[in-house]
Structure 1
Amino acid sequence: MTGIATEADAIAAKPGTFWLYSARALRGFGDGFAIIILPAYLTALGHDAAAVGIVATASLLGTALFTLAVGLIAPRHDLRTLMLFGAGLMIATGIAFPQFEHLLLIALVAFIGTINPSAGDLGVLVPLEHAMLARGAADEDRTRIFARYSLIGALSTAIGSLASSLPDMLVSAGLTWLGALRLMFYAYAGLGLVSAVLYRRLPHARAEAQSSAPLGPSRRTVYRLAALFSIDALAGGFVAQSLLVLWLIERFDLSLSAAGLFFFWASTLSAFSYLVAAWLAKRIGLVNTMVFTHIPSSVFLIVAAFAPNLHVALALLSLRAALSQMDVPTRTSYVMAVVTPAERPAAASVTAVPRSLASAVSPAIAGVLLMTSLSGLPLILCGTLKIAYDLALLVSFRHVKPPEEAA
């Protein structure tokens, strides 16, 4: 809501919020190891970096299509029912991936499925969860609620990254390498099943639709934000986490277990940065927090491309992780704040879909660039484009204030 929530709304939101946070934790845990397992699985099948980029692109394109569809129909349907559909898609993804070895079939599963090759919070369930969380949230509490949501997601993703070392243990126990990787995908499907159980405990809820059009008076603002977010996502696609794992493995011969350990700490740094972001946004504003934490992180990424050894590269990437995700809860809170309650599901979807589409363009390009003599070029392109995005966002929206800042 754009105004203060009623006491009844706030009380009704609390039980559902717990189950929503719990399901987000399970999804994050699954994404944490799936992001790292995916390139290892493709490499084990004999596919190269370009193939990893193609699969990442297919996944992001599918994410965009399903997210758009869900955002458009959400105002007319029960949010809980749509979340159950998303959990079912997660189950199907984990079961389907181990069944295929041909690149085109794997890309098709990636297109339809829910595994997100990037570290960003994209997917068919994201706009639904955002809309559910925004219900009954007072303006002064909204950013903190989304910061907590992002914190849970990042911490669970970090723990999931550690789980990517399980294939090494399974091989030691007698399984083949491919068999161990396939078992991890089945574990991902199991997490989808438990998520479905949690979503069933959510209250029935519909978006507060006031007209047949998903977007109304805030349409212009949403489209401008979507265009800018797409630049940020295009940049991020060059260092989709699956590709970043591959870069570290191929350039510095990093093991899968070591990669999982690094991304655990990187995700942990990102997680606690969300709480700092909520604190900072109260003092300097949502847009300023997005911009002035993002630019330094992009500089660290560019410098990491020229790192002379693994230790320097990991140190720079860790500094980047501590700053790069502080725009996530602030961006979500900002979008929810500058639209009407009826527009929230569509706004969450419309701002997410161009991000998915744009981020789908760059992984295939990055996969080819990783095979060149300057393998760090995707990192340079990502950092440069992100700085351009931050400056454009600051110029375009520094005067568009959410209710708590306008007051």
Structure 2
Amino acid sequence: MAFSNFLPRLFHESGLQSVYTTGLDAWLIILNRCCRMFAYGASSLILAMFFAELQISDSRIGLFMTLTLLGDVFLSLILTLIADKVGRRRTLFAGSALMIMSGVIFALCENYWVLLFAAIVGVISATGGDFGPFRAIEESTVSELTCRDTRNDVLVWYVTTASIGSALGTEVAGRVIEWLTEVEDGWSLLDAYHAVFWLYALMGSVNMASVLFLSDKCELKGGNSTASTAVASSASSVVDGATGDETAPLLNNTDTVAETTVTPKHLAKPALIKAPSSSCFLSPFKIISRETLSVIVLLWVLLMIDSLADGMTSSSLTTYFISTKFPELPKSRLGDMVSTAYLFCSLGSPLAGPLARHIGLINTMVFTHIPSSAAVLFFPFPKTAGGTFGLLLLRMALNNMDQAPRAALIAAVVKPEERTAVMGITALLRTLSGSVGPSITGLLAGGGRFGVAFVVAGALRLVYDCGLWAIFVNVRLHKHEMAQDMESDEADGGENGGASGQQQPEVAV
């Protein structure tokens, strides 16, 4: 009897129940992210070594990654700002096409400037991170598809499967390179690197195909009846910005869902789900309210500090550092190390959901990220590959546990019509800041001070952690949704028993 109760409890606490009830669109978005991160994991393992094999200097490798990230900024800006106008599915489809284009060019070409052009105008992951146009649009779409009580759980699995994809990508890339160079005759190391980029293009094709199966519910105005009501409620709830309750809704994963399915009055407020009507290219910036900016600007500053640190110690640069520090390591062993680290990351990510429900979003973000930051700071010091690997495991096991709570936090302080723009601007600013990092590391590496980059990056990450906790620990969330629920209940005249209008007890983040 106890075991029969344990399984449903596990299903609920793990967040899988939320993913299941959200439906096919969420599953496809999660699959897309997993496949894309498979490609990013494979490319991040070899990208710096690929250019080194082409006899490109360390400083130019760093410059390549910086310019690629700047290209991602431009592309993300364009696609994010038009996503709600032309359609999120069309935008994701176009991004997948650019991903295929970049993979094919890298598989066929060896000219530095042609590769740079393909990376800037297309979609290539220079660092192993998801800095392209996809993530902001997908997170905004997930926010549309979920309610405030399921959103964090779905985002947790969105992050978890990404780590699994990265782990598989690095493992497969390492094994493919070893097999092609040692078993097949005539394959040089450079040829094997080219072959891995065909996998990159293949994953782009999978993404393109799966986008075709997404429904209208993924659009800002999409969905009907129950689903759309849950979307609008969730949007408003997570919006409930700077002074609402963040922890209390996360502790109750049933009441709000039932409530949103019987209060179609949410849909009567078109301003909450209406795409910006202005034809001005910068209209998404204009719709961000001062109230939202007063909170989100401080978060943007901290996220830029964190992104600068991440750019200095990206997955590509980390694997390159390990390969230069321990040149005797075979590529397959290096792939095993990185894929195992990503696997630990995928094992740790699901814990973010239960933690956020019990200790809050900010505490989950900070207290899981601090040990990871310390591991980055001390990364250059071990003299053995085993010690270095141990710090890599610690860094990766906890590194992504702040991602889903961070997305939920951003969604919780913006209005529904602001969400795609705010998430896009967040991605833009993070990418801009992160783009500086590889050039700094490249200059340090060229001067024989590669390890200094990790010390500086670890210190910057700790600044981000402490600043995040100091500034946001007392911020309260979901103010707008609670106000909207109360208005809806008043409009109903208590018809629904006041469930939607009853304010939850406010608990600090």
CA distance in 2 between partners of 1:186 and 1:210 (Å): 37
Judge conservation of contact 2:379–2:392 (CA < 8 Å) in 1.
yes
Which residues of 2 match residues 311-326 of structure 1 at below 5 A? 311-326=386-401
Residue 241 of structure 1: aligned partner: 315
CA distance in 1 between partners of 2:35 and 2:342 (Å): 15
Matched, 1:34 2:56: no
Matched, 1:216 2:288: yes
Distance 1:402 1:120, change over 3 A: farther
- CA positional deviation for 1:11: 10
1:76 maps to amino acid: K
Judge conservation of contact 1:51–1:103 (CA < 8 Å) in 2.
no
Deviating beyond 6 angstroms after TM superposition, the runs of 4 or more aligned structure 1 residues are none
* Greater mean deviation of Cα atoms: 41-50 or 101-110: 101-110
Match of 1:295 among 342, 362, 370: 370
Matched, 1:77 2:86: yes
Residue 402 of structure 2: aligned partner: 327
- CA positional deviation for 1:54: 1.5
Residue 154 of structure 1: aligned partner: 163
SS in 1 for 2:446: coil
Residue 198 of structure 1: aligned partner: 210
Distance 1:249 1:405, change over 3 A: farther
- CA positional deviation for 1:210: 5.2
- CA positional deviation for 1:13: 5.2
Which residues of 2 match residues 112-123 of structure 1 at below 5 A? 112-123=121-132
Which residues of 2 match residues 370-389 of structure 1 at below 5 A? 370-389=445-464
2:330 maps to amino acid: S
- CA positional deviation for 1:12: 9.8
Matched, 1:24 2:33: yes
CA distance in 1 between partners of 2:433 and 2:457 (Å): 12
Match of 1:101 among 82, 90, 110: 110
Residue 136 of structure 1: aligned partner: 145
- CA positional deviation for 1:27: 0.7
How many pairs are equivalent? 398
* Greater mean deviation of Cα atoms: 215-224 or 166-175: 215-224
Judge conservation of contact 2:349–2:398 (CA < 8 Å) in 1.
no
CA distance in 1 between partners of 2:56 and 2:288 (Å): 46
The unaligned stretches of length 5 or more in structure 1 are 1-9
Distance 1:74 1:405, change over 3 A: farther
Residue 306 of structure 2: aligned partner: 232
SS in 2 for 1:381: helix
What TM-score comes out, normalization by structure 1 length? 0.93
Deviations 1:113-159 (A, max 9, x none): 32223343321111111111111312121111000111111101101
Tell which structure's C-alpha radius of gyration is larger: 2
1:201 maps to amino acid: F
1:314 maps to amino acid: F
Residue 280 of structure 1: aligned partner: 355
Residue 201 of structure 2: aligned partner: 189
Percent identity over paired residues:
28
Distance 1:14 1:308, change over 3 A: same
RMSD between superposed Cα atoms in Å? 1.9
Distance 1:109 1:124, change over 3 A: same
Distance 1:181 1:119, change over 3 A: closer
What TM-score comes out, normalization by structure 2 length? 0.75
CA distance in 2 between partners of 1:385 and 1:54 (Å): 21
- CA positional deviation for 1:228: 1.6
SS in 2 for 1:120: coil
Judge conservation of contact 1:281–1:289 (CA < 8 Å) in 2.
yes
Residue 5 of structure 1: aligned partner: none
Judge conservation of contact 1:222–1:351 (CA < 8 Å) in 2.
no
CA distance in 1 between partners of 2:429 and 2:203 (Å): 28
Residue 339 of structure 1: aligned partner: 414
- CA positional deviation for 1:72: 1.5
CA distance in 2 between partners of 1:199 and 1:266 (Å): 29
- CA positional deviation for 1:357: 0.6
SS in 1 for 2:378: helix
The unaligned stretches of length 5 or more in structure 2 are 1-18, 221-272, 479-503
Residue 251 of structure 1: aligned partner: 325
Residue 62 of structure 2: aligned partner: 53
SS in 1 for 2:150: helix
CA distance in 2 between partners of 1:375 and 1:190 (Å): 34
- CA positional deviation for 1:40: 2.1
CA distance in 1 between partners of 2:319 and 2:184 (Å): 25
- CA positional deviation for 1:272: 1.8
SS in 2 for 1:163: helix
CA distance in 2 between partners of 1:307 and 1:341 (Å): 47
Distance 1:329 1:120, change over 3 A: farther
Matched, 1:125 2:134: yes
CA distance in 1 between partners of 2:46 and 2:326 (Å): 18
1:181 maps to amino acid: Y
- CA positional deviation for 1:315: 0.6
* Greater mean deviation of Cα atoms: 395-404 or 333-342: 395-404
SS in 2 for 1:402: coil
Residue 342 of structure 2: aligned partner: 267
Distance 1:406 1:92, change over 3 A: farther
